[in-house]
Amino acid sequence: MRSRNWLALASASVATLLISACGDTGGTGGGGESKLAGTIRIDGSSTVGPLSEAAAERFQGENPKVKVTVGTSGTGGGFEKFCAGETDVSDASRPIESDEKAACAKKGIKYQALQVANDGLSVVVNPQNTWASCLTVPQLKKIWDKGSTVTNWKQVDPKFPSEKMQLFGAGTDSGTFDFFTEKINGEEGRSRTSYNATEDDNVTVQGVSGSKGGLGYFGLSYFEQNKDKLKAVQINDGKGCVTPDSKSVQDGSYKPLSRPLFIYVNVASLKRPEVEKFVQSYLENTQSLAEKALFVPLTSNQESALKPKLEQLKSQAAGST
């Protein structure tokens, strides 16, 4: 009996040691003899998050010793952490605001803003929704404005059937929220409060795909990734119904919900070689990353605007070695 216990204990400890050893060596499976090591912390917009994750995956594949973590606390939440010095890169679906600039200045944090992609904020409905294929901006405002009491599709347009409306959208920490409320309701932060507000866009996907009368809004990439579960509404800004896709976002016809997506990089963090190389890799590969993560890539004009910043980074890297 005692030898059986001893055997069990011995095999359990060997198994534990093996598993922990395997955990450590898992990273060196990739190729490349990269000597870069360290941790890069990214946080911010849930819209830009998937693109940064694609960049992180690509970078970690070539530099297995570097760990890149990508959080999605929302653009506002990300900036707070960024201006407290807690993150190296902040994802943002809107430009930095004056109070955030002040917070960064107060902590002596200098940053570099870089546009990495474009986005068309999509309004989505359930595939079973056959009546709302095109909505005008005033109709959207009626649904989402402060104090709105719209709970049924018939209230939006008498031609629509009577179907209860379930609303899902971005929370107040989200850059998507700021952008949507500014463009649709006219003022940033002005919104109705009775809806399922979340910084996690996947919850919105789940909610809208599960409710016949569901309506939600988030970045285009979330729609592209869930095309089988959702339907994107065409937006009519007075010049006809425009479908959100790469082309209409890039040529500016998808109004008013087209927007640039940024990453803000802490200049002090750039002194670390792994951060520098990561940002370089990110900027050099925006087209392929955008394709992979189903984002709207930069136009050729925007890419050429990025070139001098990339050159500056490269010379910084060369100079500091």
- DSSP H or E segment with residue 114: strand 111-120
To other proteins, the closest distance from the beta carbon of 65 in angstroms equals 30
Using CA atoms, how far residue 48 sits from 14, 76, 207, 222, in Å, is 43, 13, 21, 10
195 interacts with other proteins by CB under 8 A:
yes
46 interacts with other proteins by CB under 8 A:
no
166 interacts with other proteins by CB under 8 A:
yes
Q: What is the rounded distance in angstroms from the CA atom of residue 119 to the CA atom of residue 53? A: 16
The CB-side HSE value for 151 (13 A sphere, CA atoms) comes to 4
161 interacts with other proteins by CB under 8 A:
no
219 interacts with other proteins by CB under 8 A:
no
49 interacts with other proteins by CB under 8 A:
no
To other proteins, the closest distance from the beta carbon of 164 in angstroms equals 8
Q: What is the rounded distance in angstroms from the CA atom of residue 72 to the CA atom of residue 77? A: 8
186 interacts with other proteins by CB under 8 A:
no
DSSP type of residue 300: H
To other proteins, the closest distance from the beta carbon of 228 in angstroms equals 16
Tell me whether residue 168 or residue 223 sits nearer to other proteins (CB atom).
168
317 interacts with other proteins by CB under 8 A:
no
Alpha helix segments (H runs only) across 186-272 = 201-210, 220-225, 246-250
Q: What is the rounded distance in angstroms from the CA atom of residue 243 to the CA atom of residue 234? A: 5
Tell me whether residue 122 or residue 211 sits nearer to other proteins (CB atom).
211
Tell me whether residue 115 or residue 209 sits nearer to other proteins (CB atom).
209
Task: Lay out the site mask for other proteins across 104-133 (x = CB under 8 A, - = otherwise).
Answer: ------------------------------
- Cβ distance 219 to 178 under 8 Å? no
Tell me whether residue 214 or residue 244 sits nearer to other proteins (CB atom).
214
Q: What is the rounded distance in angstroms from the CA atom of residue 104 to the CA atom of residue 80? A: 9
Diameter of the chain by CA atoms?
Answer: 84
203 interacts with other proteins by CB under 8 A:
yes
197 interacts with other proteins by CB under 8 A:
yes
100 interacts with other proteins by CB under 8 A:
no
Q: What is the rounded distance in angstroms from the CA atom of residue 113 to the CA atom of residue 264? A: 5
Name the one range near other proteins by CB under 8 A: 20-28, 153-161, 204-212, 276-284.
Answer: 204-212
Which tokens sit at 136? 């005008």
Which tokens sit at 81? 């952490």
The count of residues interacting with other proteins (CB under 8 A) is 28
163 interacts with other proteins by CB under 8 A:
no
DSSP string, 153-206: HHHH-TTS---B-EEEEE-TT-HHHHHHHHHHHSSTT---S-SEEES-HHHHHH
Give the interface with other proteins as residue ranges (CB under 8 A). Answer: 73-74, 76-78, 80-81, 164, 166, 171-173, 189, 191, 193-199, 203, 206-207, 209-211, 214
